Amino acid sequence: MKIHTASFLALLFLSAAHHAKAQKIYISADMEGVVGVVTDAQLGPSGFEYQQTREHMTEEVLAAIRGARAAGATEFLIADSHGNGQNLLLDKLPKDVQLVRSWPRALGMMGGLDESFDAAIYIGYHTSTSNPRGVRAHTMSSATLTDIRLNGKSVSEAVFCAATAGHLGVPVVMISGDDAIVEEATRDIGDIEGAVVKWANSFHSARTLTPEAAYDVIEAAAQRAIKRLDEFEPYRLSGDIEVEISFKNYRQAEILAYLSVVERVDSHSVRYVASDMIDASMFVQFVNNYEPGLSP
């Protein structure tokens, strides 16, 4: 009897501990998929609507935090994952969250993520360079890259990051952006929650919600996602991973192939065989960030 009581109590304690477990959420925020964004005018410091778009991006992150909190999330790390990595307005974030800013950083758009997180959320994401639809569709760099493939398959930033998170055992549970990326991500990653804040007409046009309406849609999606947290599986690629990168220009492929670990697969493309997604991500960070003229 005594043993039974003890094990019953232990079970009770374990299940209480399980339910009380703090939910730690990672939010990676890009900008192309933020409400109202259609062109360069919203996407960088020289654009006439950039300051407003920073507010919208920040409010979208806050909406995701509100929704996730309502479903039980307690801890947040946010990664500013667009352009200069200094878009989100730090002063507007609650004091119990932390923010990853600027580059370079290991794991890129997932910088700061580790095994301790329970879920990852994407805000403001956009379609890949291989998708014919979507506002500002590109993968990692519209200026320099034409494709990134993992094991022969073209991937979006969303899938690349999901595989990175998956390696760390963290499932991606929600994405916001235009209708095209929500469709692409739910097709490629699985049944994650989507928040559509605009409908793409073309690369530079969309029918968009108003900011306030977008925040509501994002808050609701984040709440739904964290509520059904137990249903998600990490997106995992196992074994060696073939990373292929195609460049807009010719010379990057030519010069990278000087390295014995890099193989040139065609005039504009290289292949690197990574031991896992962390290695794959490091290779992509290197390719996108290294130049000998860097200073300081």
Site of interaction with Zn ion (CB under 5 A): 30, 157
Q: Which is nearer to Zn ion, 122 or 226 (CB)?
A: 122
In whole angstroms, how close is the CB of 108 to Zn ion at the nearest point?
A: 10
Q: Which is nearer to Zn ion, 30 or 219 (CB)?
A: 30
Neighbours of 41 (CB within 10 A): 14
Enter the DSSP assignment of 22. P
CA angle in degrees (0–180, nearest 5) for 242-247-234: 40
Closest to 262 measured CA to CA, from 247, 245, 278:
245
- And the tokens for 157? 């930033």
In the chain, which ranges are E strands? 23-29, 73-80, 97-100, 119-125, 145-150, 153-154, 172-178, 193-202, 205-208, 241-247, 262-266, 269-274
Q: How far apart are CA 35 and CA 213, in angstroms?
A: 9
Q: Which is nearer to Zn ion, 113 or 262 (CB)?
A: 113
Whether 147 and 138 have beta carbons less than 8 Å apart is answered as no
Whether 139 and 145 have beta carbons less than 8 Å apart is answered as yes
In whole angstroms, how close is the CB of 273 to Zn ion at the nearest point?
A: 25
Q: Which is nearer to Zn ion, 157 or 184 (CB)?
A: 157
Comparing every residue's Cβ against Zn ion, the nearest one is 30
Q: Which is nearer to Zn ion, 30 or 60 (CB)?
A: 30
Per DSSP bridges, beta strands 73-80 and 23-29 are parallel
Q: Which is nearer to Zn ion, 30 or 59 (CB)?
A: 30
In whole angstroms, how close is the CB of 32 to Zn ion at the nearest point?
A: 6
Which residues have C-beta within 8 Å of that of residue 270, sequence separation ≥ 6?
Answer: 244, 245, 252, 253, 256, 257, 262, 263, 264
In whole angstroms, how close is the CB of 125 to Zn ion at the nearest point?
A: 7
In whole angstroms, how close is the CB of 287 to Zn ion at the nearest point?
A: 16
Closest to 40 measured CA to CA, from 29, 22, 53, 28:
53
Q: Which is nearer to Zn ion, 73 or 181 (CB)?
A: 181
In whole angstroms, how close is the CB of 285 to Zn ion at the nearest point?
A: 14
Enter the DSSP assignment of 125. E
In whole angstroms, how close is the CB of 30 to Zn ion at the nearest point?
A: 4
